């Protein structure tokens, strides 16, 4: 049986789109709520998943779950805000699987507060986790995507990268940066066959949402009920974000680049 690298090379020789042949996809924040759902959604016998997270135990669990279900996955521990860590991560993934065809940047974090409540360290950490991580990962991945004949990048921003939310100043600013960085990459790398699109989720049932309630000193149930106040009348589930990612990573979206797909139950209307 061919390894993923050989299979990818075979696809490239045949001139097939990355989404039609065996593919290698790196998912950052793959140990978290939305990232793990993305891994589950992408997992099939033709997709090799590199699951990267600062929480290496969480990444390992997700990789194990994918493998147990018959998929292919490897876990990587990495602080995505560190340039050397990210360069080593991408090099290891390419060494292990032979190529890279897709990237989904899910890693992120939130510190709730207006600018008087946030310390300069909070601001810096918000930008490191939410925006530097996207820049560094895409920067390391793009040459490999180009070498594979093109590929697809999907970034995860937020409805709050499009419309401001209260007491989340650093997060809103960083996520707006993710939106524009994605569009800039779509322009710069289209000629290399690389598409870059963004998913902007609304409130989704994950550990992040629970931590927000804790940071604001609010009971989780009350916080969730408030978050459900949007046209579709509920918060989102991680698999609903993963469905949008799958679409933007694959051949079904072959003429889509620079798009921002809001998946938020109408929360930003
Ligand atoms: N849950 C929501 O309501 C919601 C809404 C809009 C956008 N988002 C975005 O979706 C993405 C995923 O969030 P989630 O809800 O799954 O949260 P989560 O906390 O469950 O997952 C985030 C993951 O990112 C990892 N991570 C954070 N910073 C990292 C770093 N520097 N290096 C390596 N790993 C790092 C964490 O360890 C964690 O596993 C985030 O970018 C978040 O901003 C979430």
Ligand 1 center–CA 209 separation, angstroms? 10
Q: Tell me, yes or no, if 224 is annotated catalytic.
A: no
Which whole number is the average pLDDT over 166-185? 98
Asked if residue 111 belongs to a domain, the reply is yes
Whether 219 is in the pocket of ligand 1, judged by its Cβ within 6 Å, is no
Q: Which pLDDT belongs to residue 45?
A: 84
Asked if residue 120 belongs to a domain, the reply is yes
Whether 53 is in the pocket of ligand 1, judged by its Cβ within 6 Å, is yes
Asked if residue 122 belongs to a domain, the reply is yes
Q: What one-character-per-residue DSSP string does 139-187 give?
A: HHHHHHHHHTT-EEEEEE--GGGTS--TTBHHHHHHHHHHHHHHHHHHH
* Catalytic entry in 171, 195, 242, 249: 171
Q: Are strands 260-263 and 47-53 parallel, antiparallel or unpaired?
A: unpaired
Q: Which helix (H) or strand (E) holds 200?
A: strand 194-201
Whether 98 is in the pocket of ligand 1, judged by its Cβ within 6 Å, is no
98: phi > 0 → left, psi -120 to 50 → alpha, else beta; which? left
Asked if residue 7 belongs to a domain, the reply is no
**In the predicted structure, residue 10 carries a pLDDT above the cut 80:** no
Asked if residue 13 belongs to a domain, the reply is no
Categorize the per-residue pLDDT at 3 as very low, low, confident or very high, splitting at 50, 70 and 90. very low
Q: Which pLDDT belongs to residue 77?
A: 98
Global pTM reads: 0.93
Which domain CATH number covers 27? Answer: 3.40.50.720
Q: Among 26, 28, 29, 211, which residue has the most ligand 1 atoms within 8 Å of its CB, making it the best to mutate?
A: 29
Asked if residue 5 belongs to a domain, the reply is no
Residues 126, 120: contact at Cβ < 8 Å?
no
Which whole number is the average pLDDT over 18-34? 86
Write the residue with the smallest CA distance to atom 33 of ligand 1. Answer: 54
For residue 76, the Cα-to-chain-centroid distance in whole angstroms is 15
pLDDT per position as a tens digit, 204-254:
999 999 999 999 999 999 999 999 999 999 999 999 999 999 999 999 999
Asked if residue 54 belongs to a domain, the reply is yes
Asked if residue 14 belongs to a domain, the reply is no
Question: Measured between alpha carbons, how far apart are the two ends of the chain, in Å?
Answer: 50
Q: Which helix (H) or strand (E) holds 66?
A: helix 56-68
For residue 132, what is the DSSP state? I
* Phi, psi of 213, rounded to the nearest 5 degrees: -60, -45
Ligand 1 center–CA 206 separation, angstroms? 9
pLDDT per position as a tens digit, 61-114:
999 999 999 999 999 999 999 999 999 999 999 999 999 999 999 999 999 999
Ligand 1 center–CA 238 separation, angstroms? 11
Q: Which domain holds residue 60?
A: 22-262
> Could you give the CA distance from residue 204 to residue 182 in angstroms, rounded to a whole number?
22
Most distant pair of Cα atoms in the chain: their distance: 59
Whether 150 is in the pocket of ligand 1, judged by its Cβ within 6 Å, is no
For the chain, how many structural domains are there in total?
A: 1
pLDDT per position as a tens digit, 124-146:
999 999 999 999 999 999 999 99
């Amino acid at each position: 049986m061919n390894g993923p690298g050989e299979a990818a090379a075979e696809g490239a020789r045949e001139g097939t789109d990355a989404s039609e042949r065996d593919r290698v996809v790196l998912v950052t924040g793959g140990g978290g709520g939305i990232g793990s759902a993305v891994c589950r959604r992408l997992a099939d016998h033709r997709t090799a998943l590199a699951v990267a997270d600062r929480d290496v135990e969480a990444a390992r669990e997700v990789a194990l779950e994918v493998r147990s279900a018959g998929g292919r996955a490897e876990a990587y521990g990495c602080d995505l805000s560190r340039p050397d860590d990210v360069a080593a991560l991408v090099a290891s993934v390419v060494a292990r699987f032979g190529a890279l065809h897709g990237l989904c940047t899910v890693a992120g974090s939130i510190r709730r507060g207006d600018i008087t409540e946030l310390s300069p360290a909070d601001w810096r950490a918000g930008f490191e986790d939410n925006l530097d991580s996207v820049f560094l990962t895409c920067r390391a991945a793009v040459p490999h995507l180009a070498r594979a004949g093109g590929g697809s990048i999907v970034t995860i921003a937020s409805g709050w990268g499009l419309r401001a939310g209260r007491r989340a100043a650093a997060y809103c600013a960083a996520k707006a940066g993710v939106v524009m960085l994605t569009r800039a990459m779509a322009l710069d790398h289209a000629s290399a066959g690389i598409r870059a699109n963004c998913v902007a989720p609304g409130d989704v049932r994950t550990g992040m949402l629970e931590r927000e309630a804790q940071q604001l000193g609010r009971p989780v149930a009350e916080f969730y009920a408030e978050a459900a106040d949007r046209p579709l009348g509920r918060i989102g589930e991680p698999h609903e974000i993963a469905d949008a990612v799958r679409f933007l990573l694959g051949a079904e979206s072959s003429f889509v680049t620079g798009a921002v797909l809001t998946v938020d139950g109408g929360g930003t209307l």
